[in-house]
A and B are shown apart, each in its own frame.
Chain A
């Protein structure tokens, strides 16, 4: 079987599991919605300020929400020793990782599709910069969250209090990415500065960490 077909098989399985249970998407959706509502109580979302802070709130909400889903993404493999079966399978381990990343990427993107319009309504937003650039920033940012998130979720899978550990190791490494996402989003919304540098940085971050994760995933999967 070719590499692409293995990835596709893994991805199909993850999507089917999610389609039948809808655990991750429901949890993430409601969670991020709550964060957005809570933030609008914490900071008064009036017109002038909202454009400055909306980028930050959007990405922090997504970061928190994706942690809740990422914690489950590998735990479901623990039931019935599925993960041990995966380790013994002759297929490359990185294919398993890549499929998980793609699945999580799709889930978080779906959240954004619902959350985006809500955000525009709640915070009275319309972009003063080039709004279409968000179509680039959102996938790049999501990938940055999901790549490291999926990797660290696998890393903390067999540790004590894993739900606690994932954000503790994911957030510090994600700070440069978060900075780039928020800055490019704010740049687009306010139109005050060019988001190009930050988008390039985000793309670079994605490439560097995706490569690193693909190379090191097998080590993590077989650590004992």
Chain B
């Protein structure tokens, strides 16, 4: 855990500092929106991470379900990854929602609109809240299996989030990237955008690793106490 902090924290902070410098001082001011547009450099990377970590959660959950009988040790590690990435997903999606609202108020004149994209991201947020609630409400060994199953349900929602912008008429800006001809950003804005993606990715990975270590320690403590009570039971029986 100390190693993650020693290496990860300076690297993540350094990249984020470069990203901040690029986004605030280097990137040109947007023609129509002005400085408000700079929130884009935080909003979009957060949302990309919010759509990336659910996949980590999904893969870890599938690994857990596949190996829980054959390789319990690996399954426990996978479950710790699943929990860590679910919590980090929730953080990034929350940041994405809040920065989106901060941007929407001056540009659209409203904090929130029930358009397809915003709604889908809100649904994703709600599903991950329910995922963490399920983990809290269940007890014993079944938590991990039930949560892994719910994670597969949650992951089905993520493609709907991405496709929704094309399926429904929407108030959200048309896709900036891969939206066809005429889309894309000024090349001078690209460095700020990429630095921030790299920075938030590093930050997210560091958080996942820290939370993973914490969960592994909790699992260890739980196993040890279970073992101790088992031994105590045998003592009494003898």
Contact = CB atoms under 8 A, between A and B. Distances in A.
Interface of A: 148, 155-156, 158-161, 164-165, 168-169, 171-173, 175-176, 179, 197, 201, 208-209, 212, 216, 219-220, 223-224
Given A155-B150, A220-B149, A172 B127 contact: yes
Given A169-B130, A172-B130, 17 more contacts: A148-B153, A155-B150, A159-B139, A160-B137, A160-B139, A165-B137, A168-B130, A173-B130, A173-B153, A173-B154, A176-B123, A176-B160, A208-B156, A209-B156, A212-B156, A216-B152, A223-B145
SS of B interface (majority): helix
A179 B153 CA distance: 18
B153 A212 contact: yes
Q: Which 4 A-B pairs have the closest CB atoms?
A: A223-B145, A172-B126, A223-B142, A172-B127
Contact of B134 (A165, A201, A212, A216): A165
A165 B147 CA distance: 13
A175 B154 CA distance: 12
Given A169-B130, A172-B123, A224 B141 contact: yes
A165 B132 CA distance: 12
Contacts of B123: 172, 175-176
Contacts, number: 71
B181 interface: no
Nearest to A165: B137
A219 B145 contact: yes
A197 B127 CA distance: 24
Contacts of B95: none
A148 B138 CA distance: 19
Given A155-B150, A212-B152, A161 B137 contact: yes
A220 B65 CA distance: 11
26 contacts: A148-B153, A155-B134, A155-B146, A156-B137, A158-B138, A159-B134, A160-B139, A164-B137, A169-B134, A172-B123, A172-B126, A172-B127, A172-B129, A173-B127, A173-B130, A173-B153, A175-B119, A175-B126, A197-B167, A209-B156, A216-B152, A219-B65, A219-B149, A220-B146, A223-B146, A224-B140
Contacts of A176: 123, 157, 160
B149 A216 contact: yes
A65 B203 CA distance: 44
Contact of A155 (B133, B149, B157, B167): B149
A219 to B, nearest CB: 6
Contact of B138 (A160, A164, A208): A160
Contact of A159 (B130, B137, B156): B137
B68 to A, nearest CB: 9
A200 to B, nearest CB: 11
B134 to A, nearest CB: 6
A218 B235 CA distance: 38
A158 B142 contact: yes
B133 A169 contact: yes
B117 to A, nearest CB: 13
A219 B133 CA distance: 20
A177 B230 CA distance: 47
B150 A169 contact: yes
A208 B204 CA distance: 31
